[in-house]
Structure 1
Amino acid sequence: MSLPSPVDLPASLLPLADRAERSFQAAVEALGAEVAGYFSAWPEARRQDFRRVCANSEFVAEQALRDPEMLLALAEAGELERSLNPGELRQQLVETLDGCVDENELARRLRRYRTRQQVRIIWRDITRRADLKETCRDLSDLADAGIDLAYRWLYEQLSAQSGVPTGARSGTPQHMVILGMGKLGAVELNLSSDIDLIFAYPEGGETVGAKRALDNQEFFTRLGQRLIKALDAITLDGFVFRVDMRLRPYGSSGALVLSFSALEQYYQDQGRDWERYAMIKARVVGGDQVAGKQLLELLRPFVYRRYLDFSAIEALRNMKQLIQQEVRRKGMAENIKLGSGGIREVEFIAQAFQLIHGGRDLSLQQRPLLKVLATLEGQGYLPPAVVAELRDGYEFLRYTEHALQAIADRQTQMLPDSDLDRARVACILGFPDWMSFFERLAFWRGRVDWHFRQVIADPDEEDGAPSESSPGSEWLPLWEEALDEESACRQLSEAGFADAPAAWKRLAGLRNGPQVRAMQRLGRERLDAFIPRLLTMAVEHGEPDLVLERVLPLVEAVARRSAYLVLLSENPGALERLLMLCAASPWIAEQITRFPLLLDELLNEGRLYSPPQAPELVAELSERLMRIPEDDLEQQMEALRHFKLAHGLRVAASEIAGTLPLMKVSDYLTWLAEAILEQVLALAWRQSVAKYGTPRRPDGSLCDPDFIIVGYGKVGGIELGHGSDLDLVFIHDGDPQAETDGPKPIDGAQFFTRLGQRIIHLLTTQTPSGQLYEVDMRLRPSGAAGLLVSSLGAFQRYQENEAWTWEHQALVRARVLVGCRRVGAAFEQVRAVVLGRPRELEALRTEVSEMRAKMRDNLGTRETAGGTSADAFEASAPFDLKQDAGGIVDIEFMVQYAALAWSHRHPELLRYTDNIRILDGLGEAGLLPGADVQLLQEAYKAYRSAAHRQALQKQPGVVSGDQFQAERREVLRIWRELGLG
């Protein structure tokens, strides 16, 4: 939202402006001619600003009369027209407190400095020389500086009297940690806000250096009391900040200060939902910053759960209901913070997403609301149009809040009822009159309230009114065993279940199973609310029996983590998508059952069916890992696995929905593997270099990393399917003899071998989220007997002198996936030389056909001799899409044969590694008739599409022999015409 522009002062405010100017001029003249000269030298623009500010703010007008020199000094320093530099405000306060001798003097100086800054901030806010962000930042910086500097002054005084608090375990001096909560924690303080604080200290012990030692808690309690008095007490000079300590454990009845361990224990055992909500914005605003960071890390698991926590919505909903009751009880409908469509509703929307998703999506673990909204848009949680309305509405409400509080420096969010203050608010917000302002305010409150209801409101309510009965209530007696089996089966049958007894048995098995019996009361209540919903939506599906069969195992799997049931209850669209996908694919059903965290992906339909392009995949994964500490390997591995699972589900869902054709499915799955391999290589390299140092090149310079991962087979040919493993070969171009430059040096050969082992470990280790990929390294030189990692020179020598023809066939589909570009280019050159050398065609045909015959004998369908027997085309005979005659491998072998036979004359055949584009090249070069090229491509895609469907149905790649008969015969014809059999 753009800044509200100042308007001319309305007639009702002009007398106030004139009176303020005359009074101030008289006060200045009373100080003497020299001081009066400062005011008379003011430029006209500043005089106009002065009139506007004093007309709208009684507080500024009063302070200008009480201390005209203060206002003149602000003007003389240029601080009314310019922004303060980072750290400038704190430095000013340091200078203000210099030489302070006692607590009374500390209080006086703090209050006078606060008044000076309050005048400056209100002036700049009303004149729109500062935007909302600057105003909130300056107010928060003022609080930070006041809290921390007052604390440090008081700490020195109390330590001199009672000794230095010292940790019993560490033996080191202890400092208090002061957490700022709410708007202070988020650097969003308003013009007349109180400050919510929590006090803590690292560990127990006692003071050292005094005649009578004090317990650390007693020391910090006394210090906390003095700090509150220094900031909060009202004196002749006013106050610094109203201090609210009620957010601490046990509220007003709790200890003023607690140790870290006591705080952690409290939140772990007794922390309530509203305390999680409050702790989102917690920030260290004073005291020991290093220890404070450790404290926030201790408390992070309490705030951000590692699983999707949709129970947070229910908690926020309950909090909002309590607030609404209080608003109604106190007649506060005109409160722009707590009332309908107010500031608090925008905060609730943002924090609902933070509490639900923040444990898994670290980008949401931040405090400022506007940054959270930007993240919600950037990460796809909310549409851009929604975020734009929430942002603009929030900013308008906050500007209005500041206008209300600027009038008298009073903590209020209530709209005024006096005509004078209404005129002031409208004027500050840039409106000619109250009605124009109020109409715009009503518009924004309406939009905020509407968006709030979409996110927070109960899904069982329409237009804010509770429904007569919750969805699926007709199924509740059946689930709760109020019906006998016969009646239950009749209800299931009448609703559309084909096998009602089987459905009843499944439901009874879940209800009486050990997982459900072990559920706590809250979890059981959630399950009892969810099952009727599930049954209601299942019978709306074409195959309710199939839905129930595939979804109930998921329900059983998450029964003890009932937050997932809340997720589905709160999001009917997600539940609908779950049922559709599970009915369509048992593979998807099994994936979600094994890894319920995938339910998160069902929340956003647009994102679910629109997988990102390759660059976006790389950027998203890189961004996720950047937020994880480099030394947290466990979390890095989990993040990689969740990323793969989530995007794999999105691709499968898109394939089922028909939004992604076969070739694009393979593209996305291959891009996904490449993005993951890039990060795995970076992780493995970083860990290996940290342990052993950096290996060297033959010229003595350091490798960076002079290592590549080469993909063969499906990943090399950009043809990955769901659940495909990775055929990989590792190659380096370092000096195998030279030692690394680290504290534990090893030779280059050892280094790269251990790097390869590290990569395989990262890819294959089973974690709670499974493994990334199965890895097959048997295509490396000399196979399983060879070195795990080959030097580029050794790879070249092997391929030129020792490799079998079938290994050269595999090389046709090999390409560099990730790693050093220079080494990658050298590999491509080696590949081109090896594959592009002339071959004796008859010998080549023999070797290719013999290898194919061996594969068919060992891997093809035994009943039909690998698809070659007379009955291979019968409906009763199975056809292995990949291995039987006329299938996928026959097409792959023909392509590989053609590349080996003719690439010495047509090097363009080696440009690509996928079969479709190599076939294009064969057609363009006139090596195969165009009709045969098209036939092979269409057959190849048809086979792979069928194989994908089988995989999603958790079926082997085998169909009945009466399928694909025309394609198989044509493939065999071309096979024979090429002289291969």
Structure 2
Amino acid sequence: MGKCGGRELNYISDVDVIFVAEPAEGAQETDAVAAATRLATSLMKTCSASTAEGSLWQVDAALRPEGKQGPLVRTVASHLAYYRRWAKTWEFQALLKARVVAGDREVGQTYLDAVSPMVWDVASREQFVEDVQAMRLRVEAHLPKAEATREIKLGVGGLRDIEFSAQLLQLVHGRTDPSLRSARTLDALNALAGGGYVAREDAVRLADAYRLLRSLEHRIQVYRMRRTHLMPTAAEDLRRLGRSLGMRTDPETAVTARWREESREVRRLHESLFYRPLLAAVARLSSDDARLTPDAARDRLAALGYRDPRGALRHLEALTAGTSRTAAIQRTLLPVMLGWFADEADPDAGLLAFRRVSESLGRTPWYLKMLRDEGRAADRLAHVLARSRYAADLLAQAPESVRMLGSQTGLRPRDRDSIASTMRKTVERQDDTGSALQAARIVRRQELFRLALADLVGELDLTAVGEALTDLTEAMLDVALEVAIAKVGHERREPVPADFALIGMGRLGGREFGYGSDADLLVVHRPHEGADPQEVTTAVNAVVQELRRSTRISGPDPGLEIDVDLRPEGKNGPLSRTIDGYRTYYRRWSDSWEHQALLRARPVAGDVSLGVEFTEVADEVRYSPDAASPGAVKDIRRLKARMEAERLPRGADPKTHLKLGRGGLSDVEWTVQLLQLRHAHAVEGLRTTSTLGALAAAQEASLIDAGDAEALRDAWSLASSLRNAAVLWRSRTTDSLPANHRDAEAIHRILGGEPGSGAELGERYRRAARRARTVTERVFYGRE
């Protein structure tokens, strides 16, 4: 057993053994075992006895069943009975190194043949991986504090880290791959690298470290012929040790530095390999499932709920066929990923998307290595691809974006300025204005995937998603406006004679953007001094039209629809006005609903000073003490009632329409906005474009009680989340609750619902909407 079994003995090693005996023909088992026990005892005494020539070695039989409390010798049948009923995980791990070294070879081989199947099936035990990990931690915890930092064998970054890493991988994957069943650490590392279970460079680093640590161990022991695994501290001993390893320049410092460097690298690799989430998942598979043979795969696909098992099997065969390293790694990943795909509503789509990404990246070295080695990368990718067509479509166009899963900051949203900076740099590298915006939209596609990914794996809540999507949209608009101005100027062969600012309205102005939101905008311009008014109008219109066209058309990212219908006079009004034009309109001709719309107006792109000027104009209107005059309130209520009666799509159910239905987004937003119009002139907290921010301020100012505020907040948040989830699921915008069970299940899963809970989604929303509608009736309409 141990180093003896692995042919890895030190100069001063204990020799770990297990004694096995079988009665000779005609002998009684009890007599045979008794005789064998006397023989084993005598052998151990002889080997350890001190003589004038010294002793041979300590023979240690503590790895036997029941340890030192158990019988010294057992028959094969007795061993089997123990291992089947009582053995702990570590005992099977120890048997990995079992080898016949002395005595009757036939008896020894019978023992190995009997226990080997159990060794290579132990990974199927419940909590197997966790047990092995816990055992390694216990070994570290029991080291004397004074010696722990000097331990070459048991300490952090020591030999045990290498051995446990290799053995855990062997036991998990060796069930289906006999090439891994080696008792020697270096052979095991080589086999693990050859089979794609460990990166080649990682295996080489561990092997090199193993050789160094074993060399240190040998040389420390052989000097005084004493069993120890501690690095010396005396300068003379360190100098001797360094010189024995060929270090001639400052050997005392060099050997210490080399040892510490290797230990740090060993620990890093140990933590990467030993605590892989993939290992526990593979271990939980049955041996047949882990083998991924065609028959086993077909049966498993059907059992997991794939709607097209034959099609899924074709994907598996395409990914795992052949003897390449890529195929070998896929054969390790896919048995587990099949289950992860099946955790979601559309496993077939997830597997298909994974195949496309894998084939696109081909033999890219980092891709499969990342999925195998980096934290939860494979787990997250599988769930995202089977959960979201939107994310899968984005990834299919830029497969290299999957690298985000392996980065510590990969799922962290970037801020507006950094996104805009990246977009501008890509634009500057283009030769013509026609391709310039396409380059910026490639950046947008990558950022959309980042946000969808972070959202789907639970790294972002609704507010963070809205803010991040808003930042991305603002950056896109800012760069798109610059490109549109440049393009129109190029076509006119002279600069556009005006400066521009884009004013976000609606969800964009409120920093509550969704995946399917349009960008509601007002456009304001400032003519350059001395410019001809007619030329200004022509150029300004051309810029706005180009801005809308270039962001809406099919591109590398989903199109961004710019809606300017909230402008003065609506579709009949000019696309842009000057500051004076807006000021005059809002003072003389605007309606109450336009004052209400300005509550969410906020500069989002273009000339900063121009945006500030517009904000001052908007503040005069939206925060005026007269904004909620009795006539204005009556007009707003009448318009809201008309919307409910006339604007619902034909056939839509008012109880389940997320935007215009009873208790939907419109109810909540108009209720909050009426509070703002009435009180923002006096309550500064209400001067915000955020729906939830204004609601919180109204509650704090006692303008609405806590229960009503909670009802509105819950309904608004759920409806907004549902709209986002619908886009993520089907890559289509919808304002209605899902009509079929499969869509409901998928969307509810995205929202955090348990498997099989899709039927609860409708009632969950209707309950929240009923509560919100009750508040709207009382607070907005004034009905008791």
Q: Same fold (TM over 0.5)?
A: yes
Corresponding residue SS for 2:764:
coil
Q: Which residue of structure 2 lines up, in the alignment, with residue 310 of structure 1? A: none
Q: Which residue of structure 2 lines up, in the alignment, with residue 626 of structure 1? A: 425
Q: Once the 2 structures are TM-superposed, how far is the Cα of residue 846 of structure 1 from its aligned partner? A: 3.7
Q: Which residue of structure 1 lines up, in the alignment, with residue 384 of structure 2? A: 581
Q: Deviations over 1:370-412 (max 9, x none)?
A: xxxxxxxxxxxxxxxxxxxxxxxxxxxxxxxxxxxxxxxxxxx
Q: Which residue of structure 2 lines up, in the alignment, with residue 723 of structure 1? A: 516
Q: Deviations over 1:588-624 (max 9, x none)?
A: 33433454333122222x3244334x3xx42354156
Q: Which residue of structure 1 lines up, in the alignment, with residue 575 of structure 2? A: 788
Do the aligned residues in 2 keep the contact of 1:622 with 1:679 (CA within 8 Å)?
Answer: no
Q: Once the 2 structures are TM-superposed, how far is the Cα of residue 961 of structure 1 from its aligned partner? A: 6.0
Q: Once the 2 structures are TM-superposed, how far is the Cα of residue 447 of structure 1 from its aligned partner? A: 5.2
Q: Which residue of structure 1 lines up, in the alignment, with residue 592 of structure 2? A: 805
Corresponding residue SS for 1:571:
helix
Q: 1:931 and 1:438, CA in 2 relative to 1: closer, same or farther beyond 3 A?
A: closer
Do the aligned residues in 2 keep the contact of 1:726 with 1:776 (CA within 8 Å)?
Answer: yes
Q: 1:782 and 1:451, CA in 2 relative to 1: closer, same or farther beyond 3 A?
A: same
Q: Which residue of structure 1 lines up, in the alignment, with residue 257 of structure 2? A: 440
Do the aligned residues in 2 keep the contact of 1:506 with 1:549 (CA within 8 Å)?
Answer: no
1:662 maps onto 2:462 in alignment? yes
Q: 1:567 and 1:473, CA in 2 relative to 1: closer, same or farther beyond 3 A?
A: farther
Q: 1:544 and 1:891, CA in 2 relative to 1: closer, same or farther beyond 3 A?
A: closer
Do the aligned residues in 2 keep the contact of 1:666 with 1:719 (CA within 8 Å)?
Answer: yes
Gaps of 5+ in 1: 1-313, 328-332, 335-415, 427-433, 463-470, 697-702, 741-745, 873-878
Q: Deviations over 1:65-119 (max 9, x none)?
A: xxxxxxxxxxxxxxxxxxxxxxxxxxxxxxxxxxxxxxxxxxxxxxxxxxxxxxx
The residue type equivalent to 1:537 in the other structure is: M
Q: Which residue of structure 1 lines up, in the alignment, with residue 503 of structure 2? A: 710
1:597 maps onto 2:397 in alignment? no
Q: Once the 2 structures are TM-superposed, how far is the Cα of residue 831 of structure 1 from its aligned partner? A: 0.8
Q: Which residue of structure 2 lines up, in the alignment, with residue 748 of structure 1? A: 536
Q: Deviations over 1:38-85 (max 9, x none)?
A: xxxxxxxxxxxxxxxxxxxxxxxxxxxxxxxxxxxxxxxxxxxxxxxx
Q: Which residue of structure 2 lines up, in the alignment, with residue 933 of structure 1? A: 709
Q: Which residue of structure 1 lines up, in the alignment, with residue 337 of structure 2? A: 537
Q: Which residue of structure 2 lines up, in the alignment, with residue 611 of structure 1? A: 413
Do the aligned residues in 2 keep the contact of 1:844 with 1:897 (CA within 8 Å)?
Answer: no
Q: Which residue of structure 2 lines up, in the alignment, with residue 953 of structure 1? A: 729
Do the aligned residues in 2 keep the contact of 1:882 with 1:888 (CA within 8 Å)?
Answer: yes
Aligned equivalents of 1:635, 1:863: Cα separation in 2: 43
Tell me the C-alpha RMSD between the 2 structures: 5.0
Corresponding residue SS for 2:501:
strand
Q: Which residue of structure 2 lines up, in the alignment, with residue 893 of structure 1? A: 670
Q: Once the 2 structures are TM-superposed, how far is the Cα of residue 827 of structure 1 from its aligned partner? A: 0.5
Do the aligned residues in 2 keep the contact of 1:737 with 1:748 (CA within 8 Å)?
Answer: no
Q: 1:660 and 1:540, CA in 2 relative to 1: closer, same or farther beyond 3 A?
A: closer
Q: Deviations over 1:330-389 (max 9, x none)?
A: xxx99xxxxxxxxxxxxxxxxxxxxxxxxxxxxxxxxxxxxxxxxxxxxxxxxxxxxxxx
Q: Which residue of structure 2 lines up, in the alignment, with residue 497 of structure 1? A: 304
Q: Which residue of structure 2 lines up, in the alignment, with residue 851 of structure 1? A: 639
The residue type equivalent to 2:542 in the other structure is: R
Q: Deviations over 1:543-592 (max 9, x none)?
A: 27843432314424663552469713552243221112234444433433
Q: 1:773 and 1:527, CA in 2 relative to 1: closer, same or farther beyond 3 A?
A: farther
| Residue from 884, 891, 913 that aligns with 2:689 | 913
Q: Once the 2 structures are TM-superposed, how far is the Cα of residue 916 of structure 1 from its aligned partner? A: 1.9
Do the aligned residues in 1 keep the contact of 2:510 with 2:690 (CA within 8 Å)?
Answer: yes
Matches within 5 A, 1:104-253: none
| Residue from 608, 613, 619 that aligns with 1:821 | 608
Do the aligned residues in 1 keep the contact of 2:643 with 2:660 (CA within 8 Å)?
Answer: yes
Do the aligned residues in 2 keep the contact of 1:860 with 1:884 (CA within 8 Å)?
Answer: yes
1:550 maps onto 2:350 in alignment? yes
Do the aligned residues in 2 keep the contact of 1:641 with 1:772 (CA within 8 Å)?
Answer: no
Q: TM-score with structure 2 length normalisation?
A: 0.56
Corresponding residue SS for 1:829:
helix
1:979 maps onto 2:781 in alignment? yes
The residue type equivalent to 1:712 in the other structure is: M
Corresponding residue SS for 2:409:
helix
Q: 1:778 and 1:568, CA in 2 relative to 1: closer, same or farther beyond 3 A?
A: farther
Q: 1:907 and 1:690, CA in 2 relative to 1: closer, same or farther beyond 3 A?
A: farther
Do the aligned residues in 1 keep the contact of 2:344 with 2:387 (CA within 8 Å)?
Answer: no
1:647 maps onto 2:454 in alignment? no
Aligned equivalents of 2:695, 2:727: Cα separation in 1: 26
The residue type equivalent to 1:619 in the other structure is: S
Corresponding residue SS for 1:747:
helix
| Residue from 547, 552, 562 that aligns with 2:362 | 562
Do the aligned residues in 2 keep the contact of 1:569 with 1:575 (CA within 8 Å)?
Answer: no
Aligned equivalents of 2:206, 2:712: Cα separation in 1: 68
Do the aligned residues in 1 keep the contact of 2:289 with 2:297 (CA within 8 Å)?
Answer: no
The residue type equivalent to 2:777 in the other structure is: R
Do the aligned residues in 1 keep the contact of 2:289 with 2:300 (CA within 8 Å)?
Answer: no
Do the aligned residues in 2 keep the contact of 1:497 with 1:545 (CA within 8 Å)?
Answer: no
* Percent of pairs with identical residues: 20
Q: Which residue of structure 1 lines up, in the alignment, with residue 561 of structure 2? A: 774
Q: Which residue of structure 1 lines up, in the alignment, with residue 42 of structure 2? A: none
Do the aligned residues in 2 keep the contact of 1:472 with 1:533 (CA within 8 Å)?
Answer: no
Q: Which residue of structure 2 lines up, in the alignment, with residue 968 of structure 1? A: 769
Q: 1:441 and 1:772, CA in 2 relative to 1: closer, same or farther beyond 3 A?
A: farther
The residue type equivalent to 2:350 in the other structure is: R
Q: Once the 2 structures are TM-superposed, how far is the Cα of residue 893 of structure 1 from its aligned partner? A: 1.6
The residue type equivalent to 1:622 in the other structure is: S
Aligned equivalents of 1:808, 1:892: Cα separation in 2: 14
Aligned equivalents of 2:658, 2:399: Cα separation in 1: 32
Q: Once the 2 structures are TM-superposed, how far is the Cα of residue 819 of structure 1 from its aligned partner? A: 2.5
Q: Once the 2 structures are TM-superposed, how far is the Cα of residue 826 of structure 1 from its aligned partner? A: 1.3
Aligned equivalents of 1:540, 1:840: Cα separation in 2: 54
The residue type equivalent to 1:489 in the other structure is: R
The residue type equivalent to 1:435 in the other structure is: E
Q: Deviations over 1:110-130 (max 9, x none)?
A: xxxxxxxxxxxxxxxxxxxxx
Q: Once the 2 structures are TM-superposed, how far is the Cα of residue 884 of structure 1 from its aligned partner? A: 0.8
Q: Which residue of structure 2 lines up, in the alignment, with residue 431 of structure 1? A: none
Aligned residues, how many? 522
Q: 1:524 and 1:560, CA in 2 relative to 1: closer, same or farther beyond 3 A?
A: farther
Do the aligned residues in 1 keep the contact of 2:426 with 2:440 (CA within 8 Å)?
Answer: no
Do the aligned residues in 2 keep the contact of 1:716 with 1:815 (CA within 8 Å)?
Answer: yes
Q: 1:475 and 1:684, CA in 2 relative to 1: closer, same or farther beyond 3 A?
A: farther
Aligned equivalents of 1:524, 1:436: Cα separation in 2: 44
Corresponding residue SS for 2:503:
strand
Q: Which residue of structure 1 lines up, in the alignment, with residue 657 of structure 2? A: 880
Q: 1:969 and 1:498, CA in 2 relative to 1: closer, same or farther beyond 3 A?
A: closer
Q: Deviations over 1:680-716 (max 9, x none)?
A: 34444555567755556xxxxxx6xx42111111111
Aligned equivalents of 1:855, 1:934: Cα separation in 2: 25
Aligned equivalents of 1:980, 1:974: Cα separation in 2: 10
Do the aligned residues in 2 keep the contact of 1:727 with 1:779 (CA within 8 Å)?
Answer: yes
Matches within 5 A, 1:207-356: none
Q: TM-score with structure 1 length normalisation?
A: 0.45
